[in-house]
Each structure stands twice: as C-alpha cells, then as structure tokens.
C-alpha cells in the first residue's frame, strides 16, 4: 500500500475550482487498490457539504480539515503549510513506507526546504504541480508577483518531480530553471466526455433559458474567471464589432467589481443588447447542457496551463474559437479555430457567412478529448507515477 498525501486544493467534495475537481475525480476514478489517498481540505470548503468533523472519509479517501484564519492574501500560504505539516505527522503516525506528498501550486517555496528535510527523513517523495504562470496574473501587485516567481523557483529546486498539466508549462520549467535540472513529467488535466443528462424540456433548463432570455443554438458562450488575462475586453470589443445577430453570453463571477466597471466605461457593452452577463452556474449538468447548446464557445485565456473550462468546451460544444496561444493550441489542435486579439470579429462574420468550413470540427475535438483527456486516462497516468516513483 502506498499512501499519497495531497496538499493545495481547497478540498473535496469539490464545489468549484480546477484543483478541487481534479482531486475529486482522482479519488472517484481510482483503479489501484494499492493506493490510499489522504486529502487536505479547508474547513470552509467542508462546511459547504455540511461536514464538520476534523477527519472524514470521502469516496474512499481519508480527508482532514484545516482551519484557516482570514488573514488576507497569506491565507493560502498558511493553509498549505499547515496541510503539509499535518500530512507529515500523519505519515509518521502511520509509519508509512515511501509516502508521496503531492503539493498543488507553488505557494510555499520560501518554507519548503525545512519540510523537504522531514519528508526525506521519512523516506518520502515530494511531487509538485507548478500550475500555470501565477506570477503573470494582473490581479497581483508587483511585490506579490515577485513572491510568486521566487516561490516557484524554490518549489522547483526542492521537488523530486514536477507534474505539469501542460507541455508548454513543462517546457517553461525546463528552460527557466535549467540550473536545477528539474525532473518533470507531463500529465494532462482531465474532463468528462459524457453528454448532459438534461434535455430541452427539463425544468432546470427551461427555467434558466427563460430567465436569461436566451435561445438554444443562438448564442456564443464564454465561461471563466472574470480577470483581465482571460481577455474579456478583447472578446467584448470584437463581438461588438461583429455583424452577428446572436447573443454573447458570459458565465462568470462579475460581482460589479472594478474590472467590470472599467470594462463598462471603456467598451459601453451595456448598450449592446447581445452582450449578456448571466452570473455563475454551479450545477454541472446544467452548465454542460448550456455548453452543448451554444452556437460556439469563445476562449480567451492567455495565462496558465491546460484550462479546465477549455477541455469542458472542447468535449461538449459544437464549435470552439480559441485565442491563438500555445496553451490553447496544444489542447485544441485541429479541432478548433483560432483568433488573434484584433481579428475575432472577422472570424465570427466569416463563420456566419459560411466563408469558413466548420464541418468535422466538433467530431475532431471530441475525439481528441476522449483519446487524450478523459479522466480514466488521466487517473491511470497518475496511478502509474504514484505506484512506481521513488521506489
């Protein structure tokens, strides 16, 4: 039996978030009986599922709650350190043989050397998922960005192996941190490949479409965090310039923030009745149905590795228009169309005027998702690493 300690997700059951969904799917689709998962969770996340016990079992995984004080931006750093400390204590208590500690994201680099020594003393292994380019995100101030970059450097330096969910991220790690000769492996993020269980006349479907005044197959769709690096401004400006009569539906957490107001002032999107901010959708079956029945999905993410919302769109939406960057092209391949920031409106017009051939794209995208990104395949790849690495 090999014990695997997972640190860095908010926890399971997953309510939202890429890492949270990953951990949930990892334990749900477990194949090997020779692996036991121990998953750190925030008490805050567990309470959303009415779980208040310090230790609990979920889908066969041993989960433990960490209380995290509300200390601002340092909250995530505090949580990861406490989760790692607790994991090491559990491994000592369990008298584990060759445990693996898998840390998701690079938040605790300045502190990791101390804990790496303890892990080595246990005969354990430190695996790290470097995530995307967190230090490039516009929401962070310059000092915070410097911290992220420095922290990443130290996590790379002290990890035994880095698990990259994007080949572009793996290439970046190898090139930027060549002096550490980083040991890396590429294992993609996964996605569901089954169709939604909902149908057109399902109550939840009709309620949502009627409330939002949206018609199936008559809208372009965007799903993602409302942050500048996801290029909401470019997408909105370009859609306004297009001749499309369809709606532009944005499923995102606007909450009337400063970025929203800035966008409003600069683009005047509220004067275009096609532009519809419709809030968030946490019901995964409903969200899948909304994706399946969009005319097209538009993806503007520019920073980070393999994006979960992109995989979900490629596995369910008929036509996908992706920002032309390496992260997106390595996933979409020839199952999507690509746009630059100043030509999206032309692409939309050409598609609707049938100047561009889109037949076959849907099947090609779904074929790619099924062959390379199904959760079954991803879990198999992880289990191979968890069972064999460091032994």
Domains along the chain with CATH numbers: 2-190+374-388 (3.40.50.2000), 203-372 (3.40.50.2000)
Our measurement of the distance from residue 108's CA atom to the centroid of its chain's CA atoms, rounded to an integer in Å, reads 20
What are the two backbone dihedrals, phi and then psi, of residue 269, each rounded to the nearest 5 degrees? Answer: -65, -25
**Alpha-carbon distance 319 to 363, whole Å?**
10
**330 to each of 305, 306, 326, how far by Cα in Å?**
10, 9, 6
| Run means of pLDDT, 10 residues per run, the chain, 391 residues | 96 87 95 97 93 95 95 89 98 96 95 97 96 62 79 96 92 94 95 94 98 98 89 96 98 82 93 96 94 97 81 96 92 96 97 94 96 95 94 71
pLDDT value of residue 253: 87
pLDDT, residue 307, reads 81
Sequence-ordered strand ranges (E) for the chain: 2-7, 35-42, 55-58, 61-66, 100-104, 125-129, 161-164, 184-186, 219-223, 247-251, 275-277, 296-299, 320-323, 337-339
- Give residue 15's pLDDT: 77
Q: Residue 148: what pLDDT?
A: 86
Residues 6+ apart with CB under 8 A from 318: 292, 294, 295, 296, 361, 362
Of 180, 126, 173, residue with least CA distance to 157: 180
Q: DSSP label at 323?
A: E
Beta bridge partners of 37: 4
Q: At what angle do helices 232-241 and 344-352 cross, to 10 degrees?
A: 50
Which pLDDT value is given to residue 142?
Answer: 66
- The pair phi, psi for residue 340, each rounded to 5°, is -95, 165
Q: What is the pLDDT of residue 71?
A: 87
Q: What's the helix, strand, coil split of the chain in %, to 5?
A: 45, 15, 35
CB 15 within 8 A of CB 45: yes
């Amino acid at each position: 039996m090999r014990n695997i300690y997972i640190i860095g997700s908010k926890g399971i059951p997953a309510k939202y978030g890429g890492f949270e969904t990953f951990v949930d799917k990892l334990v749900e689709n477990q194949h090997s009986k020779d692996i036991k998962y121990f998953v750190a969770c925030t008490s805050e996340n567990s309470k959303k599922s009415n779980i208040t016990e310090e230790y609990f079992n979920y889908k066969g995984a041993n989960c433990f709650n960490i209380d995290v004080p509300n200390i601002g931006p340092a909250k995530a750093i505090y949580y990861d350190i406490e989760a790692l400390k607790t994991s090491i204590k559990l491994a000592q208590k369990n008298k584990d043989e060759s445990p693996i500690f898998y840390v998701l994201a690079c938040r605790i680099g300045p502190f990791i050397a101390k804990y790496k020594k303890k892990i080595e003393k246990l005969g354990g292994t430190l695996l790290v998922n470097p995530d995307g380019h967190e230090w490039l995100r516009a929401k962070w101030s310059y000092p915070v960005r410097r911290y992220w970059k420095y922290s990443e450097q130290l996590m790379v330096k002290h990890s035994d192996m880095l698990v990259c969910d994007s080949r572009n991220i793996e290439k970046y790690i190898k090139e930027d941190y060549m002096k550490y000769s980083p040991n890396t492996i590429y294992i993609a993020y996964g996605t569901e490949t089954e169709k939604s269980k909902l149908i057109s006349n399902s109550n939840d479907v009709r309620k949502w479409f009627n409330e939002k005044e949206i018609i199936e197959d008559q809208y372009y769709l965007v799903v993602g965090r409302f942050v500048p690096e996801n290029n909401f401004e470019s997408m909105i400006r370009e859609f306004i310039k297009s001749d499309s009569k369809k709606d532009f539906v944005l499923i995102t957490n606007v909450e009337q923030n400063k970025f929203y107001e800035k966008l409003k002032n600069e683009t005047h999107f509220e004067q275009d009745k096609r532009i519809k901010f419709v809030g968030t959708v946490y019901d995964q079956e409903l969200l899948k149905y909304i994706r399946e029945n969009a005319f097209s999905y538009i993806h503007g993410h520019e920073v980070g590795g393999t994006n979960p919302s992109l995989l979900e769109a490629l596995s369910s939406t008929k036509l996908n228009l992706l920002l032309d960057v390496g992260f997106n092209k390595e996933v979409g391949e020839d199952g999507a169309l690509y746009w630059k920031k100043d030509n999206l409106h032309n692409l939309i017009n050409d598609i609707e005027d049938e100047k561009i051939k889109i037949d076959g794209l849907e099947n090609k995208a779904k074929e790619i998702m099924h062959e390379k990104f199904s959760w079954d395949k991803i879990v198999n790849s992880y289990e191979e690493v968890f069972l064999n690495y460091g032994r």
